[in-house]
Protein backbone atom coordinates (compact mmCIF):
# COMPACT_ATOMS: atom_id res chain seq x y z
CA UNK A 1 0.00 0.00 0.00
CA UNK A 2 2.63 2.46 1.08
CA UNK A 3 4.74 1.63 -1.92
CA UNK A 4 1.92 2.38 -4.33
CA UNK A 5 1.37 5.78 -2.75
CA UNK A 6 5.02 6.75 -3.19
CA UNK A 7 5.03 5.59 -6.81
CA UNK A 8 2.08 7.78 -7.75
CA UNK A 9 3.51 10.67 -5.79
CA UNK A 10 6.77 10.21 -7.62
CA UNK A 11 4.95 10.29 -10.95
CA UNK A 12 3.31 13.59 -10.03
CA UNK A 13 6.64 15.01 -8.90
CA UNK A 14 8.29 13.91 -12.15
CA UNK A 15 5.53 15.55 -14.17
CA UNK A 16 5.79 18.80 -12.19
CA UNK A 17 9.59 18.83 -12.51
CA UNK A 18 9.48 18.35 -16.29
CA UNK A 19 6.78 21.01 -16.72
CA UNK A 20 8.81 23.40 -14.65
CA UNK A 21 11.98 22.68 -16.64
CA UNK A 22 10.09 23.25 -19.90
CA UNK A 23 8.70 26.61 -18.73
CA UNK A 24 12.16 27.67 -17.60
CA UNK A 25 13.74 26.55 -20.85
CA UNK A 26 11.04 27.95 -23.14
CA UNK A 27 12.58 31.43 -23.74
CA UNK A 28 15.80 29.82 -24.97
CA UNK A 29 13.85 27.47 -27.21
CA UNK A 30 11.84 30.40 -28.57
CA UNK A 31 15.06 32.25 -29.33
CA UNK A 32 16.45 29.29 -31.27
CA UNK A 33 13.17 28.80 -33.20
CA UNK A 34 12.98 32.52 -34.05
CA UNK A 35 16.53 32.49 -35.36
CA UNK A 36 15.36 30.21 -38.21
CA UNK A 37 12.43 32.45 -39.23
CA UNK A 38 12.28 35.16 -41.82
CA UNK A 39 11.83 38.63 -40.29
CA UNK A 40 8.22 38.63 -41.51
CA UNK A 41 7.47 35.28 -39.85
CA UNK A 42 9.17 36.44 -36.65
CA UNK A 43 6.60 39.22 -36.14
CA UNK A 44 3.63 37.33 -37.58
CA UNK A 45 0.49 37.44 -35.46
CA UNK A 46 -0.47 35.04 -34.02
CA UNK A 47 3.10 33.77 -33.50
CA UNK A 48 4.11 30.71 -35.52
CA UNK A 49 5.56 27.86 -33.51
CA UNK A 50 6.83 25.24 -35.94
CA UNK A 51 4.98 25.64 -39.21
CA UNK A 52 6.86 28.32 -41.06
CA UNK A 53 9.51 28.41 -43.72
CA UNK A 54 12.75 27.43 -41.94
CA UNK A 55 15.73 29.40 -43.20
CA UNK A 56 19.42 29.90 -42.47
CA UNK A 57 19.36 33.39 -43.96
CA UNK A 58 19.72 35.12 -40.57
CA UNK A 59 22.89 33.25 -39.76
CA UNK A 60 24.36 34.19 -43.13
CA UNK A 61 23.36 37.84 -42.60
CA UNK A 62 24.82 37.94 -39.11
CA UNK A 63 28.09 36.48 -40.32
CA UNK A 64 28.20 38.99 -43.20
CA UNK A 65 27.47 41.97 -40.93
CA UNK A 66 30.01 41.08 -38.26
CA UNK A 67 32.58 38.37 -38.42
CA UNK A 68 31.25 35.99 -35.76
CA UNK A 69 34.41 33.90 -35.63
CA UNK A 70 36.58 36.81 -34.60
CA UNK A 71 34.35 37.63 -31.62
CA UNK A 72 34.12 33.96 -30.72
CA UNK A 73 37.90 33.64 -30.85
CA UNK A 74 38.21 36.70 -28.60
CA UNK A 75 35.76 35.22 -26.09
CA UNK A 76 37.72 31.97 -25.99
CA UNK A 77 41.07 33.73 -25.66
CA UNK A 78 39.80 36.05 -22.91
CA UNK A 79 38.17 33.33 -20.81
CA UNK A 80 41.11 30.97 -21.10
CA UNK A 81 43.69 33.69 -20.52
CA UNK A 82 42.00 34.97 -17.38
CA UNK A 83 41.50 31.41 -16.10
CA UNK A 84 45.16 30.45 -16.53
CA UNK A 85 46.29 33.64 -14.76
CA UNK A 86 43.75 32.95 -12.03
CA UNK A 87 45.15 29.45 -11.46
CA UNK A 88 48.74 30.70 -11.32
CA UNK A 89 47.93 33.22 -8.59
CA UNK A 90 45.04 31.35 -7.02
CA UNK A 91 46.54 27.91 -6.36
CA UNK A 92 49.44 29.18 -4.18
CA UNK A 93 47.06 31.48 -2.30
CA UNK A 94 44.52 28.68 -1.70
CA UNK A 95 47.40 26.41 -0.69
CA UNK A 96 48.54 28.93 1.91
CA UNK A 97 45.01 29.32 3.28
CA UNK A 98 44.46 25.57 3.52
CA UNK A 99 47.85 24.22 4.62
CA UNK A 100 49.67 27.07 6.32
CA UNK A 101 46.94 28.88 8.23
CA UNK A 102 47.97 31.68 10.55
CA UNK A 103 45.81 33.63 12.95
CA UNK A 104 45.06 36.17 10.23
CA UNK A 105 43.88 33.64 7.63
CA UNK A 106 40.21 34.10 8.39
CA UNK A 107 40.35 37.89 8.17
CA UNK A 108 42.24 37.76 4.88
CA UNK A 109 39.69 35.34 3.44
CA UNK A 110 36.84 37.63 4.49
CA UNK A 111 38.54 40.71 3.09
CA UNK A 112 39.23 38.85 -0.15
CA UNK A 113 35.58 37.85 -0.52
CA UNK A 114 34.39 41.33 0.39
CA UNK A 115 36.11 42.78 -2.68
CA UNK A 116 33.53 40.82 -4.71
CA UNK A 117 30.85 43.06 -3.25
CA UNK A 118 32.10 46.14 -5.05
CA UNK A 119 29.73 47.39 -7.72
CA UNK A 120 31.69 47.57 -10.97
CA UNK A 121 30.26 50.98 -11.84
CA UNK A 122 31.88 52.40 -8.72
CA UNK A 123 35.41 51.78 -9.95
CA UNK A 124 34.69 52.30 -13.67
CA UNK A 125 36.41 55.68 -14.04
CA UNK A 126 39.61 54.91 -12.04
CA UNK A 127 40.10 51.60 -13.87
CA UNK A 128 39.37 53.22 -17.23
CA UNK A 129 41.96 55.91 -16.51
CA UNK A 130 44.47 53.29 -15.39
CA UNK A 131 44.05 51.34 -18.63
CA UNK A 132 44.27 54.56 -20.64
CA UNK A 133 47.52 55.48 -18.92
CA UNK A 134 49.12 52.10 -19.67
CA UNK A 135 47.72 51.97 -23.24
CA UNK A 136 45.68 48.87 -22.43
CA UNK A 137 42.26 49.99 -23.67
CA UNK A 138 40.78 47.59 -26.23
CA UNK A 139 43.62 45.10 -25.75
CA UNK A 140 43.53 41.46 -24.71
CA UNK A 141 45.95 42.17 -21.89
CA UNK A 142 43.70 44.85 -20.40
CA UNK A 143 40.48 42.86 -20.46
CA UNK A 144 42.17 39.60 -19.38
CA UNK A 145 43.60 41.45 -16.37
CA UNK A 146 40.17 42.80 -15.40
CA UNK A 147 38.41 39.44 -15.81
CA UNK A 148 41.18 37.70 -13.88
CA UNK A 149 41.02 40.21 -11.04
CA UNK A 150 37.25 40.28 -10.74
CA UNK A 151 36.95 36.48 -10.56
CA UNK A 152 40.05 35.80 -8.46
CA UNK A 153 38.30 35.87 -5.03
CA UNK A 154 35.72 33.28 -6.14
CA UNK A 155 38.44 31.07 -7.65
CA UNK A 156 40.57 31.15 -4.52
CA UNK A 157 37.56 30.49 -2.31
CA UNK A 158 36.55 27.44 -4.36
CA UNK A 159 40.09 26.06 -4.53
CA UNK A 160 40.43 26.59 -0.78
CA UNK A 161 37.29 24.59 0.01
CA UNK A 162 38.65 21.70 -2.09
CA UNK A 163 42.18 21.84 -0.70
CA UNK A 164 40.83 21.78 2.85
CA UNK A 165 39.52 18.27 2.23
CA UNK A 166 42.94 16.86 1.28
CA UNK A 167 44.73 15.21 4.22
CA UNK A 168 47.82 17.07 5.43
CA UNK A 169 49.74 13.84 6.00
CA UNK A 170 50.19 13.15 2.30
CA UNK A 171 51.76 16.54 1.71
CA UNK A 172 53.95 16.20 4.77
CA UNK A 173 55.15 12.80 3.59
CA UNK A 174 56.29 14.27 0.29
CA UNK A 175 58.06 17.08 2.14
CA UNK A 176 59.91 14.48 4.23
CA UNK A 177 61.08 12.97 0.97
CA UNK A 178 62.66 16.29 0.19
CA UNK A 179 60.11 17.90 -2.11
CA UNK A 180 60.12 21.70 -2.09
CA UNK A 181 56.89 23.62 -1.48
CA UNK A 182 56.61 24.36 -5.16
CA UNK A 183 57.14 20.72 -6.19
CA UNK A 184 54.65 19.72 -3.53
CA UNK A 185 52.01 21.92 -5.16
CA UNK A 186 52.74 20.91 -8.74
CA UNK A 187 53.32 17.15 -8.33
CA UNK A 188 51.36 16.13 -5.24
CA UNK A 189 48.56 18.57 -4.51
CA UNK A 190 47.39 19.54 -8.00
CA UNK A 191 46.92 15.98 -9.32
CA UNK A 192 44.89 15.12 -6.21
CA UNK A 193 42.75 18.22 -6.56
CA UNK A 194 41.99 17.77 -10.28
CA UNK A 195 38.17 17.53 -9.83
CA UNK A 196 38.16 20.69 -7.74
CA UNK A 197 40.39 22.55 -10.14
CA UNK A 198 38.22 21.42 -13.06
CA UNK A 199 35.07 22.80 -11.41
CA UNK A 200 36.83 26.06 -10.63
CA UNK A 201 38.05 26.39 -14.22
CA UNK A 202 34.56 25.71 -15.59
CA UNK A 203 32.90 28.29 -13.38
CA UNK A 204 35.57 30.85 -14.22
CA UNK A 205 35.18 30.28 -17.97
CA UNK A 206 31.40 30.75 -17.72
CA UNK A 207 31.73 33.91 -15.62
CA UNK A 208 34.32 35.38 -18.00
CA UNK A 209 32.30 34.42 -21.07
CA UNK A 210 29.21 36.17 -19.70
CA UNK A 211 30.91 39.30 -18.42
CA UNK A 212 29.34 42.29 -20.14
CA UNK A 213 29.93 45.49 -18.21
CA UNK A 214 33.71 45.68 -18.59
CA UNK A 215 33.70 44.10 -22.04
CA UNK A 216 31.52 46.96 -23.28
CA UNK A 217 33.32 49.74 -21.48
CA UNK A 218 36.98 48.94 -22.13
CA UNK A 219 36.91 47.33 -25.57
CA UNK A 220 36.01 48.66 -28.95
CA UNK A 221 36.91 46.48 -31.93
CA UNK A 222 40.14 44.67 -31.39
CA UNK A 223 39.46 42.71 -28.18
CA UNK A 224 35.64 42.75 -28.16
CA UNK A 225 34.09 39.41 -27.08
CA UNK A 226 30.70 37.91 -27.97
CA UNK A 227 28.77 39.92 -25.38
CA UNK A 228 29.87 43.06 -27.24
CA UNK A 229 28.82 41.37 -30.49
CA UNK A 230 25.28 41.04 -29.07
CA UNK A 231 25.30 44.58 -27.75
CA UNK A 232 26.06 45.85 -31.26
CA UNK A 233 22.52 44.80 -32.19
CA UNK A 234 21.37 47.72 -30.13
CA UNK A 235 18.15 48.85 -31.76
CA UNK A 236 15.43 46.40 -30.80
CA UNK A 237 12.93 49.02 -32.03
CA UNK A 238 13.81 48.13 -35.59
CA UNK A 239 12.22 44.84 -36.56
CA UNK A 240 15.31 42.65 -36.58
CA UNK A 241 14.21 40.03 -34.10
CA UNK A 242 15.16 37.06 -36.20
CA UNK A 243 18.68 38.36 -36.78
CA UNK A 244 19.07 39.26 -33.10
CA UNK A 245 17.92 35.74 -32.22
CA UNK A 246 20.44 34.20 -34.60
CA UNK A 247 23.25 36.34 -33.17
CA UNK A 248 22.19 35.46 -29.61
CA UNK A 249 22.03 31.76 -30.40
CA UNK A 250 25.53 31.91 -31.82
CA UNK A 251 26.79 33.79 -28.76
CA UNK A 252 25.40 31.38 -26.18
CA UNK A 253 25.81 28.08 -28.04
CA UNK A 254 29.43 27.36 -27.03
CA UNK A 255 28.89 28.11 -23.35
CA UNK A 256 25.59 26.23 -23.14
CA UNK A 257 27.17 23.16 -24.74
CA UNK A 258 30.13 23.36 -22.38
CA UNK A 259 27.86 23.78 -19.36
CA UNK A 260 25.52 21.01 -20.46
CA UNK A 261 28.21 18.38 -20.87
CA UNK A 262 30.05 19.29 -17.70
CA UNK A 263 26.89 19.82 -15.66
CA UNK A 264 27.93 17.41 -12.93
CA UNK A 265 31.28 19.08 -12.20
CA UNK A 266 29.72 22.50 -12.49
CA UNK A 267 26.94 21.82 -10.00
CA UNK A 268 29.41 20.32 -7.58
CA UNK A 269 31.70 23.30 -7.98
CA UNK A 270 28.91 25.85 -7.51
CA UNK A 271 27.51 24.24 -4.42
CA UNK A 272 30.61 23.10 -2.60
CA UNK A 273 31.75 26.41 -1.20
CA UNK A 274 28.28 27.47 -0.16
CA UNK A 275 27.61 24.47 2.01
CA UNK A 276 30.91 23.79 3.66
Partner 1 sequence: MARPQSELLRARTRTAWLFLAPMLIVLAMVAGWPLLRTIWFSFTDANLGKMSQAKFIGFENYYASFGGILQDPDWWRSVWNTVWFSVVSVSLETVLGMIVALLLNVDFRGRGFVRAAVLVPWAIPTIVSARMWGWMLHDQFGIINDMLERAHLISGPVAWTADPHLSMWSVVFVDVWKTTSFMALLILAGLQLLPSDCYEAARVDGISPIKVFFRVTLPLIWPALVVAVVFRSLDALRVFDLIYVLTSSAKETMTMSVYARQQLVDFQQVGYGSAAATLLFLIIAAFTALTLIATRSRASEG
Q: Which of residues 71-130 bind partner 1 (CB under 8 A)?
A: 89-90, 92-93, 95-97, 100-102, 105, 108, 112, 114-127, 129-130
Cα–Cα distance for residue pair 107/100, rounded to 1 Å? 14
Cα–Cα distance for residue pair 175/181, rounded to 1 Å? 8
What is the smallest separation between the CB atom of 105 and partner 1, expressed in angstroms? 8
Q: Does 13 bind partner 1 (CB under 8 A)?
A: yes
Distance between the two ends of the chain, CA-based, in angstroms?
39
Q: Does 272 bind partner 1 (CB under 8 A)?
A: yes
Query: Which range of residues in 15-23, 59-67, 164-172, 191-199 is near partner 1 by CB under 8 A?
Result: 15-23
Among 137, 152, 158, 188, binds partner 1 (CB under 8 A): 152
Cα–Cα distance for residue pair 215/131, rounded to 1 Å? 13
Q: Is 45 exposed, middle or buried (0-12, 13-18, 19+ CB in 10 A)?
A: exposed
- HSE value, Cβ hemisphere, 13 Å, CA-based, for 72: 14
What is the smallest separation between the CB atom of 169 and partner 1, expressed in angstroms? 16
Cα–Cα distance for residue pair 204/181, rounded to 1 Å? 26
Q: Which of residues 197-256 bind partner 1 (CB under 8 A)?
A: 206, 209-210, 212-213, 226-227, 230-231, 233, 236, 241, 244-245, 248, 251-252, 255-256
Q: Does 59 bind partner 1 (CB under 8 A)?
A: no
The nearer residue to partner 1, 2 or 64, going by C-beta atoms, is 2
How long a stretch of residues is the chain?
276
Q: Which of residues 18-37 bind partner 1 (CB under 8 A)?
A: 18, 20-22, 24-25, 27-28, 30-31
Amino acid sequence: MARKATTSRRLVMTFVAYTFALILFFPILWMVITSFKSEADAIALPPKFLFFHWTLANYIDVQARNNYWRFAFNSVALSFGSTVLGLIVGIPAAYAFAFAPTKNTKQILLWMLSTKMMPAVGVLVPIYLLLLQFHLLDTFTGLILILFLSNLPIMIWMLYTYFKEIPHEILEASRMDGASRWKEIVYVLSPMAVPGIASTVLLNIILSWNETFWSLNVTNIHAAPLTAFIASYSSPEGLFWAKLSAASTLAVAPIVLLGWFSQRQLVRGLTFGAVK
